[in-house]
Amino acid sequence: MRAHTLLFGALLGLAIAGPPFIVRVSAQPQAAAHPGEYAPADIAYGARLYDAQCTTCHGANGDGVGGVDLRSGRFRNAVTDQDLTRVVTAGIQGTGMQAFKLDQSELAGIVAYLRNMNSFDRGSVKPGDADRGRAVFDGKGTCARCHRVGDQGSRAAPDLSDVGATRSAGSLLRSLTEPTSQMFPINRPVRVVTRDGKVINGRRLNEDTYTVQLIDDQERLVSFVKSDLREYTILTVSPMPSYKSTLTDAELADVVAYLLSLKGR
Ligand code: HEC
Ligand code: HEC
């Protein structure tokens, strides 16, 4: 609800804001991997979910149900990924295949795993550990100096309390190594220069045709009438540092496991 209002406000503002403000907006960011490609992090997440929820009937090798071979890559009831999502979320009427309640991140994982079950090598992937990931989040990663989870951390950057329900494992991992590639339009940083020359950097909480509300890098709420501003620029590079070289692969996997465990309040 709130996210929609914010997004709508932002779109409206962007559409109407013209000169005398400087508004620079780049092309849409790449939100997900190319269709047909599945991020290893998604496949690994899907494998964990499969083991926990599907093996009782389908077995570890996907051939536990007569007439169904999940590893074959051919499905009687599904051709596209969308079909697979439908089979898993709606079930198959009149059979033992029940409907599963899974969020966006989980569905991305299950579909990626079903598509790669045949070649996925469990031995080659060390699954991340959410508890260790939390320790990295609070410690070495210093994520809480910008982000909030539950009632702890800063409001300078987006609240991550339910990020594990909406972002796929692959997208979360890329967020950590190449933040700009996964940035949503509403999260683009803005730079404001007031008429008397004061510069404020922050992110948008809300925006309409005439006004914009920001939270600045000191976590202060500030509101502006756009026509009072000398400059209003929407930037296209994420202010978040890349953790590509500061965290090890194992630490990154742990942080992703922790983020995936954040499924809302
Ligand atoms: C309680 C048993 C049971 C569980 C648990 C179960 N399934 Fe099934 N599943 C079935 C049965 C039985 C069928 C075959 C239905 C039919 O006759 O068409 C099936 C069919 C399917 C199909 C369609 C196969 C095809 O060839 O079209 C997919 C995909 C599938 N299951 C995925 C899953 C996934 C993913 C999970 C775990 C999230 C899961 N199932 C959990 C019993 C189960
Ligand atoms: C210097 C501040 C800063 C630090 C430190 C930081 N981030 Fe971020 N992060 C941001 C900002 C600002 C955004 C919003 C822009 C974007 O999406 O890139 C963001 C975005 C994200 C997103 C995407 C959120 C969404 O809803 O799209 C995730 C996930 C994330 N950060 C995780 C982390 C994790 C995990 C760490 C620690 C390992 C971390 N961040 C450290 C500032 C920071």
In order of 44, 54, 62, 168, the CA distances from 119 in angstroms are 12, 18, 13, 21
CATH of domain 130-182+246-260: 1.10.760.10
CB 71 within 8 A of CB 54: no
Residues of the chain with CATH 2.30.30.100: 2-30+189-234
If you measure from the C-alpha of residue 38 to the centroid of ligand 1, how many angstroms do you get, rounded to a whole number?
Answer: 21
- pLDDT tens-place values along the chain, 265 residues long: 344 444 444 443 333 333 333 333 333 333 344 455 899 999 999 999 999 999 999 999 999 999 999 999 899 999 999 999 999 999 999 999 999 999 999 999 999 999 999 988 877 777 899 999 999 999 999 999 999 999 999 999 999 999 999 999 999 999 999 999 999 998 999 999 999 999 999 999 999 999 999 999 899 999 999 999 999 999 999 999 999 999 999 999 999 999 999 998 5
What string of DSSP letters covers 10-68? HHHHHHH--TTS-----SPP--SPPTT---HHHHHHHHHHHHHHTHHHH-TTS--STT-
Mutation test residue for ligand 1: of 43, 55, 56, 57, the one with most atoms within 8 Å of CB: 57
Mutation test residue for ligand 1: of 86, 97, 117, the one with most atoms within 8 Å of CB: 97
Q: Which atom of ligand 2 is nearest to the CA of 166?
A: 26
Q: Which of 232, 227, 189 is nearest to 210 (CA)?
A: 227
Q: Classify domain 2-30+189-234 by CATH architecture.
A: Roll (2.30)
Mutation test residue for ligand 1: of 58, 85, 106, the one with most atoms within 8 Å of CB: 58
Cα gap 137→194, rounded to integer Å: 35
- What does the DSSP 8-state code read for residue 242? P
If you measure from the C-alpha of residue 97 to the centroid of ligand 1, how many angstroms do you get, rounded to a whole number?
Answer: 4
CATH of domain 40-124: 1.10.760.10
Residues of the chain with CATH 1.10.760.10: 40-124, 130-182+246-260
